[in-house]
Structure 1
Amino acid sequence: MAVDAAREEKALRELTNRLVDRYGEEHSVERVEAVVGAVRQRFDGHKVRDFIPILIERIARRELTPVEAENSAEEANTVNSQAIPLGDNSNSASGHLFDTLDRLGVSRRTALVGAAAAVVAVVGVVAVIAVQQPDSAPVAAAPGGLTTVRGVVGSEKMAFFEDSRVADALARHGVKVEVDPAGSRQIATSVDLGKYDFAFPSSSAAAERIQRLKGVSGKYTPFSSPMAIATFRPIVDLLTAAGVVKPGPAPAFDIEKYLALAERGVQWDQLEGNTTYPVRKNVLVGTTDPRTSNSAAMYLAVTAYVANDNTIVRGGKAEDYAVSRISRLFTRQGYTENSTDGPFKEYLAGGMGQTPMVWIYEAQYVDAAVHNQLKPDMVLMYPSPTVVSQHTVVPLNDKGDTIGKLLSTDPELQRLAAEHGFRPNDVSLFTKVTAEHQVPVVPNLIDVVDPPNYDTLEHLLDGVAKAFN
């Protein structure tokens, strides 16, 4: 970041903090930040930046305090009426200009150092704002209304897009986003993408498939989420005794030991000392349908890696061997849903009886914790190894590209993504959320594997699909 840009960002952070302190009892922090962000956009494209933070603060105060609105408008008009030629050395004219700058919070020393071009820019910008931004205009209003952008997204992101704060943040950039949910593999294989501006699957593999299909090179990865297992304390205790789970604040679920247990067809009531969950069902992690859902594809990627002697699967022989070992993990489950939203809601509502272990995105569990939806005996386990799902925006046109950029760079949208459990580009935002809500997560996952390439993953999925028949 250039020195001038860094200085401006620092000034904006400081003025925002001042406004929060000043108006904290009248407006929420989000409201103040939204006003500052909206006012800042009015100065986009102006090359001379010397006085921009000062003007932003003055106009933001006008928006936040009706009484100050009249004064700010009057000062803006005064600047416009007292603009003088740069060659005019009249002391009285200069005095009028400096008086006006003083009222705007610009010291005479700053004005002199800022150079004549900066003064001209300030006068011009304030005059434009005075004419174009009447006091009654709402901050979030977009000239000409909002541009509607349509997308198809993995179901685990629906709560994020349905959040009114997300809608407000997007509206400040002049867009309204409408989304439809679908399984990520469905998005990549069977959804009609012709009616959408962007696709937002939950994995880089699905995104790669869409890019190939639509001839698109660009993509954005605004946030990610490792795969995890939602379970219950009695299940953790049982599997700890069986040697499958390593206990801790965030228990580790050993995929290799689990695979050995599942291959032997061990049932819950056969576990030694099991008095808390003695049911005649196979010890299995519940997933979605691998033929439609990315989360199940990520489960397949992890288990195939372990089944292939802890090596990424490559080549037909390795694919066949892995499928022969892991297909029963899916076929023995019975009915499975198309996306993770369904089984996780069942986990939250149904309890241990129906869903003792569910393969989910970490984000779903964190989001539920933030919104007080968890019961005391619910636990988040991390598979060992696990895989990180890269939530990837594939823009299908210019409007979709705008959404990809905003989701990746807008500070408010990144913060809200963290509140919905995702790990944004600035991981500290996620760490802050989990600490505030006391969610036991692993902040820096080490035991992570890469999924196979798109073609190999498709071959594995096809092999598992055949096993259902």
Structure 2
Amino acid sequence: MSRVNPGADVVQREAQAMRRMTESLVEDLSENVPVDQVTSAVGAAHDRFAGKPIREFVPILVERIVRSELADPDPTVRVPAPSGRAAVPAPVARQEASGTRRVVSRRAVVPLSLGAVVVVAAVVAGVVLLPGGAETPAAAPVAAATVVRGVVGSEKMAFFADERVVEVLADNGITVEVEPAGSRQIATSVDLDRYDFAFPSSSPAAERIQRARGVTAKYTPFSSPIAIATYRPIAELLTAAGVITPGPVASFDMNRYLELAAGGVQWDDLPGNTTYPVAKNILVSTTDPRSSNSAAMYLSIASYVANDHTIVRGATAEAHVLPALSKLFLAQGYTDNSSEGPFNQYLTNGMGPTPLVCIYEAQFIGAAAAGRITPDMVLTYPTPTVLSNHTLVPLTRPGDTIGRLLTDNPELRRLAAEHGFRTGDNAQFTAVAAAHDVPVAADLIDVVDVPAYDTLERLLDGVANSYN
């Protein structure tokens, strides 16, 4: 798998940090050391790190070397804080005069005593710096903490906010800051220059990002199928209507549902309906297909069924299914940009406004783990369904590190399963679901592929155009 090369922003940040660090050294040492000697020492120390792949901590190491070489009697190591993202050092244990130790919190200026061995981002240079400037190969490098910023599908925010996840990442020298956005927004309108990684909820959105950014690397640490959440009284109505088949794991017949939607059948048209007799079309609530991945995945299922159970290919098939697809979305009214919106409404407002909602399976399990699922709430699986592969696209080297950790770290994989995501270990996933009394399909059988990237984009654009 190819790695991400440092971009121009990394070079610019390093140059800013080096300039500020040099100015600080000149100011601190001006009484005893000529300016040209300071700048010459900085240049020589900087040259020692030429060609090293990880750049975030080079200014820190350069200042450490220069202060040691110039024998500053009261040395400090300052972490310059240029505009934009900056690496943040890990807490550093420091020996105080009293003999006690204290931990210096992560911040822009971190004093470090030169009276002790200091290991700062040894991964940058492959060396440990000892007092006096001596070098020795780093047998066990200690990675300083780096702030890594990402933009993610909203359904993953709870995972990244989990204190246990934060702790595992911190143990690996990383602090992650994430912001939520709809997956299609991430791929089309979010300014990705601000982030180290993009983590949409599907491979088509990730593919679009890869194309636009010229990145070949990607990671798919976990996945989640599309599901339909409803309530027991609604499930009973739709069971009588032939849409839902009850059982240990309830299924939602997309073919029968599309028949009702195409005919404009309303809830109060259903025979014997005394529990939800409202004059509203029978529709699944979704997110906005113009911005959100879950809606795009729902559209993929509907397009397959509307196209006689065949993946849509070609202009003729696209034109054939677009009217039916557009109707599924246009009749909903307002739709949210991300999957957290309709699901939170489902959890808090009851079946009145949202009798059926398209979600990720992981959201239901995560809500159950948080004690938010009531006995009247029912999880069903559309037949067929699609598997939404949550795909991380690294935009910088630190972003690539996050992708590898989420994919390979056993503890992070276990925690992802606790948040309802499938990580490839079915036994682990089903154990989590069972622990929270959520009946799930251990092995997904009736799963179809999403249309090709360009086809899905044209279908989404066609639905978007129908809004105007």
TM-score, normalised to structure 2's length? Answer: 0.69
Q: 1:11 — aligned with what?
A: none
| Residue 327 in structure 1 maps to residue 326 in structure 2 | yes
Contact 2:143–2:172 at 8 Å: present in 1 too?
no
| Residue 245 in structure 1 maps to residue 244 in structure 2 | yes
Shift of 1:424: 0.9
Q: 2:388 — aligned with what?
A: 389
One-letter amino acid of the structure 2 residue matched with residue 239 of structure 1: L
| Residue 223 in structure 1 maps to residue 229 in structure 2 | no
Shift of 1:453: 1.0
Contact 2:288–2:338 at 8 Å: present in 1 too?
yes
Contact 2:222–2:390 at 8 Å: present in 1 too?
yes
1:285-339 superposed Cα distances (whole Å, 9 cap, x missing partner):
0000000000000010000010001000000111111111221000000000000
One-letter amino acid of the structure 2 residue matched with residue 220 of structure 1: Y
Pick the structure with more helix per residue. Answer: 1
Map 1:412-431 to 2 at 5 A: 412-431=411-430
Q: 1:245 & 1:371 partners in 2: Cα distance?
A: 27
User: Would you say how many aligned residue pairs link Structure 1 and Structure 2?
Assistant: 331
Q: 2:335 & 2:324 partners in 1: Cα distance?
A: 19
Shift of 1:144: 6.8
SS at match of 1:392: strand
Unmatched runs of 5 consecutive residues or more in structure 2: 1-129, 131-140
Moved more, 430-439 or 266-275: 430-439
Q: 2:263 — aligned with what?
A: 264
SS at match of 1:205: helix
Cα RMSD for the two superposed structures: 1.6
Q: 1:288 & 1:351 partners in 2: Cα distance?
A: 18
SS at match of 1:176: strand
Q: 2:282 — aligned with what?
A: 283
Q: 1:298 & 1:144 partners in 2: Cα distance?
A: 39
Q: 1:158 — aligned with what?
A: 157
Map 1:261-410 to 2 at 5 A: 261-410=260-409
One-letter amino acid of the structure 2 residue matched with residue 436 of structure 1: A
SS at match of 2:286: coil
Q: 1:217 & 1:249 partners in 2: Cα distance?
A: 41
Q: 1:398 & 1:425 partners in 2: Cα distance?
A: 26
One-letter amino acid of the structure 2 residue matched with residue 382 of structure 1: Y
SS at match of 2:347: helix
Q: 2:427 & 2:146 partners in 1: Cα distance?
A: 32
SS at match of 1:423: coil
One-letter amino acid of the structure 2 residue matched with residue 344 of structure 1: F
Q: 1:429 & 1:250 partners in 2: Cα distance?
A: 18
Unmatched runs of 5 consecutive residues or more in structure 1: 1-130, 132-141
SS at match of 2:276: coil
SS at match of 1:368: helix
One-letter amino acid of the structure 2 residue matched with residue 413 of structure 1: L
Contact 1:408–1:425 at 8 Å: present in 2 too?
no
Q: 2:119 — aligned with what?
A: none
Q: 2:203 — aligned with what?
A: 204
Contact 1:307–1:325 at 8 Å: present in 2 too?
yes
Shift of 1:233: 0.4
Moved more, 303-312 or 432-441: 432-441
Shift of 1:211: 0.4
Q: 2:84 — aligned with what?
A: none
Contact 2:286–2:358 at 8 Å: present in 1 too?
yes
Q: 1:170 — aligned with what?
A: 169
Q: 1:440 — aligned with what?
A: 439
1:6-35 superposed Cα distances (whole Å, 9 cap, x missing partner):
xxxxxxxxxxxxxxxxxxxxxxxxxxxxxx
Shift of 1:249: 2.2
Q: 1:111 — aligned with what?
A: none
Q: 1:194 & 1:177 partners in 2: Cα distance?
A: 16
One-letter amino acid of the structure 2 residue matched with residue 327 of structure 1: S
Identity %: 66
Shift of 1:467: 1.0
SS at match of 1:424: coil
Contact 1:424–1:430 at 8 Å: present in 2 too?
yes
Q: 1:419 & 1:371 partners in 2: Cα distance?
A: 11
Q: 1:85 — aligned with what?
A: none
Contact 1:223–1:417 at 8 Å: present in 2 too?
yes
| Residue 181 in structure 1 maps to residue 180 in structure 2 | yes
Shift of 1:232: 0.3
Shift of 1:427: 2.5
